Amino acid sequence: MKKFFAVTLGILTAIGGFVDVGDLVASSLSGARFGLALAWVVVVGVVGICAYAEMCGRVVAISNRPVFDLVRERLGARVSLLNLVASYLVNLLTLGAELGGVALALQLATSVSYLLWVPVAAFVLWVVLWRVKFETLERVFGLLGLTLVIFAVAVFRLPGHGPELWHQALSPVPTHGENWNTYGYFAISLFASAMTPYEVFFFSSGGVEEKWGPRELSEMRSNVFVGFPLGGGLALALMAVAAQVYHPLNVKLDTLGQVALPAALAVGKLGLAIAILALFAVTFGAAMETGLSSAYVVAQHFGWAWGKLVPPRRAARFHTVLLVSVLVGAAVLLTTINPIQLTEYMLVFSAVVLPLTYLPILVVANDRRYLQDHVNGKLANTVGVVYLVVIVVAAVAAVPLMIVTGAGG
């Protein structure tokens, strides 16, 4: 019974933890611009993150070491350093975007400018990461993230949830007034939001912190193959409500309040309150994961003591990097850059560095020195290679499409 509870809770945590500010922005923007014509990208992204997250979880369970730690050992210091620099910079942008999402959610709840909430959110984030238990963080904010189900409810309470949405989803082409360049740009943003690098770094390092072993393989796979797809379903719900409310009016989203509005239109004040709570929970939860991931990759590359469960005195450099990362993320927002715009840029640069994240994972997952008889099988390798090709195409096309489309404008 205890194991069943752990699996169930892990799945719920994965559902709530899948959606972050990148998914909020990319799904809502895409729904407003294209209806559900890009829904297929979410499905493709979910399958990809499931495939590579399973590889990361398997590496941890068999080797008892995080993937990034093995990348340096397997591919050498130069490749690891390139991976580190690219991943850390993207993590900083992501952390800033997530903190921006937290501040914007608090602004919606209080009508106080988000800029005043940024230092408060950063301080609370650091204190929580420093003092609260790892398991508590993961479960509380993962479960709170399930309040995103309000958007799934809104889909069926808003008009236009029948044949029109299905028609859009089954017509994967640019809608009237849009072009293929813009369509491709939003497709890459959606794909990157599903496969943001910090997700696999956190998943891998968190497995070490929770002491996964061979016995936890089934639990890990349940979390991956049930939790992530259901989380992807919540991302599709965000896209659908934006398609119902904004797409017919040709409205372009530029605030987080517009993301929450469909819940208010469908359910009233209660719906708005739940939506704001959901936005806060998923962005704060993702900020925690991103902050920890930033410190994980640096400490693991240099061979320092690391881990949230390790006291600061024993892992001083790890905790210092964590603090500095939070401060830099807050500083980026205090330049007054629009958090939504920052999120869009983050998604583009996430797409650019995806090959540096996922190629090493595929290499390590095929190394018998670490996984023995648990290396990738034919199916895992086929899926991994196909997705690696897609990842490379997305990385090459991301910046040109951003320039050509004016970042989707």
Residue 326 is predicted with a pLDDT of 96
Residue 9 is predicted with a pLDDT of 46
Residue 11 is predicted with a pLDDT of 54
Residue 201 is predicted with a pLDDT of 85
How many CA atoms are closer than 13 Å to the CA of 349, on its beta-carbon side? 18
In degrees, rounded to 5, the angle at the alpha carbon of residue 100 between the alpha carbons of residues 96 and 102 is 120
Residues 155 and 145: their CA atoms lie apart, in Å, by 18
Residue 309 is predicted with a pLDDT of 76
Residue 230 is predicted with a pLDDT of 87
DSSP assignments along 184-210, one per residue: HHHHHHHHHHHS-HHHHHHHHHHHHHT
Q: How much is the pTM?
A: 0.91
User: What's the full length of the chain, in residues?
Assistant: 409
Q: Mean pLDDT per segment of 10 residues, for the chain of length 409 residues?
A: 50 61 90 94 94 92 87 82 89 93 94 95 92 75 84 91 86 88 94 88 84 86 86 93 91 87 93 93 89 91 86 89 95 91 90 91 92 92 96 95 86
| Residues whose CB falls within 8 Å of the CB of residue 399, separated by 6 or more in sequence, listed in order | 348, 352
Helices (H), 64-113: 67-75, 77-110
Residue-range domains of the chain with CATH: 2-405 (1.20.1740.10)
Residues 322 and 81: their CA atoms lie apart, in Å, by 18
- Name the token pair of 300: 């693991």
Residue 5 is predicted with a pLDDT of 46
Residues 195 and 231: their CA atoms lie apart, in Å, by 13
Residue with tokens 């997705």: 387
